């Protein structure tokens, strides 16, 4: 977004209005600023500065004779050009580490356990709606496969992928297979496919198994089903959400219609996953903090209409060559500096937790 280069006074006043509004959720007036901030400016001067900011769309006046509140443009300028980044203090770091680390102390947790734990911790720490999207699996390394016969016509295929990631699919059989046949096919698949990425397996499984002495209907079924077995899980199945109780308690969502729209959006996991999953390309909405790309989409910058009253702050986390997303959904009146600090640390912690389980 293009801006006029605001003067120091204008930046100071805009920053104070945003910081005060974040805390109080109440419009901010010139007298309040003059009395509570040592800017060396009179009430009248501050009013003049606020009038300029209002004319240029950075703040608005919700009611006659009331104070001002930030607009989307004001928040965007603040995020891009005013706010600064700091690290979490040791107390908050220990709180995050204790909560997200306990799930894998005995290495009995699955990736779902860790990701749900991360969402809960992020919601509690940020006091906002938190979202964790599990990594895309196309570049994930396949470790092993197992097959469990559920009946004479049904089987469950269990794929173990790098770290704690497991994918299970139930398949219907139009043939009857013996346990010996299952064991032979499992051994063949693990021997020929282990160490490959899922995308490599989808592309090359037929060629890799073509010269095997094991040639039966079950092996051929696995080959025909490779596009499904070794594919991504649907995006909405990769989503973990926590902290709904915090966001519905915000003043912005007290009205019944606002609460209804918010809950409807949260229950639509496909849209929620798209909102966090499709954000994050380098753009005007991306800022840099501690070497990490943090995406901040404010109001109408969000891709879904039902998120126009929200800010979504998100960042990627990494597990080997896999990439996931972690994000905070909250009112536009959120503590942006704190949200960025929490996300930075949570993403690093989540990457380390999932990468160190082998």
40 HSE (CA, 13 A, CB side): 2
pTM for the structure as a whole: 0.86
- CB of 134 closer than 8 Å to CB of 324: yes
CATH 1.10.10.10-classified regions of the chain:
8-82
- Confidence grade of residue 301 (pLDDT, cut at 50, 70, 90): very high
Q: What is the CATH code of the structural domain delimited by 142-229? A: 3.30.390.60
Q: What is the pLDDT of residue 1?
A: 67
Q: Quote the mean pLDDT of the chain.
A: 88
Enumerate the H helices of 25-142 as residue ranges. 30-36, 43-55, 72-77, 90-101, 111-126
CATH topology of domain 8-82: Arc Repressor Mutant, subunit A (1.10.10)
Domain with CATH 3.30.390.60 in the chain: 142-229
Residue 318 has pLDDT above 70, yes or no: yes
Q: How many Å apart are CA 290 and CA 93, to the nearest integer?
A: 15
Query: Token pair for residue 184?
Result: 């032979």
Give 268's pLDDT tier (boundaries 50, 70, 90). Answer: very high
Q: What is 90-136+236-355's CATH number, 3.90.1170.50, 3.30.450.40, 3.50.50.60, 3.30.360.10?
A: 3.30.450.40
Residue in 232, 225, 164, 233 with CA at minimum distance from that of residue 199 = 232
Cα separation, 313 vs 325, in Å, equals 10
Query: Could you give the residue range(s) of every CATH 3.30.450.40 domain in the chain?
Result: 90-136+236-355
Instruction: Tell me the per-residue pLDDT of 33-74, one tens digit each, with 9 for 90 and over.
Output: 999 999 999 999 999 999 999 999 999 998 776 799 999 999
Q: How far apart (Å, rounded) are the C-alpha atoms in residues 119 and 113?
A: 10
The DSSP symbol for 136 reads: P
Nearest to 235 by CA among 301, 136, 315: 136
Q: Is 333 helix (H, G, I), strand (E, B) or coil?
A: coil
Per-residue pLDDT tens over the stretch 203-247: 999 999 988 888 788 999 999 999 999 998 888 788 999 999 999
């Amino acid at each position: 977004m293009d801006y006029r280069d605001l003067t120091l006074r204008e930046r100071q006043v805009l920053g104070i209005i945003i910081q005060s509004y974040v805390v109080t959720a109440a419009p901010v007036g010139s007298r309040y600023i003059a009395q509570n901030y040592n800017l060396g400016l009179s009430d009248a001067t501050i009013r003049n500065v606020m009038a300029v900011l209002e004319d240029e769309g950075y703040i608005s006046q919700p009611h006659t004779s009331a104070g001002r509140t930030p607009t989307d443009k004001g928040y965007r300028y603040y995020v891009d050009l005013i706010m600064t980044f700091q690290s979490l203090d040791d107390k908050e770091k220990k709180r995050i580490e204790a909560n997200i680390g306990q799930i894998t102390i005995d290495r009995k947790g699955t990736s779902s356990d860790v990701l749900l734990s991360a969402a809960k911790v992020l919601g509690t720490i940020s006091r906002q709606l938190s979202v964790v999207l599990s990594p895309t699996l196309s570049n994930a390394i396949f470790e092993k496969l197992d097959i469990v016969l559920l009946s004479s016509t049904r089987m469950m295929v269990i794929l173990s992928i790098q770290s704690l990631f497991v994918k299970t699919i139930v398949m219907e059989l139009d043939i009857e297979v013996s346990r010996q046949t299952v064991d032979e096919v499992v051994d063949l698949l693990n021997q020929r496919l282990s160490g490959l990425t899922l995308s490599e397996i989808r592309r090359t499984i037929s060629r890799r198994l073509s010269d095997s002495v094991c040639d039966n209907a079950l092996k051929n079924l696995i080959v025909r089903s490779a596009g499904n077995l070794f594919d991504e899980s649907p995006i909405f199945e990769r989503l973990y959400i926590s902290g709904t109780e915090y966001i519905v308690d915000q003043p912005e969502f007290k009205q019944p219609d606002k609460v209804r729209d918010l809950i409807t959006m949260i229950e639509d996991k496909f849209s929620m996953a798209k909102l966090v999953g499709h954000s994050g390309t380098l753009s005007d909405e991306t800022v840099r903090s501690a070497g990490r790309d943090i995406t901040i989409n404010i109001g109408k910058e969000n891709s879904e209409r039902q998120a126009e009253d929200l800010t979504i702050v998100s960042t990627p986390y990494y597990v080997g060559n896999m990439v996931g997303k972690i994000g905070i959904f909250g009112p536009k009146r959120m503590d942006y500096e704190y949200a960025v600090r929490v996300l930075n640390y949570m993403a690093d912690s989540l990457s380390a937790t999932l990468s160190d389980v082998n």
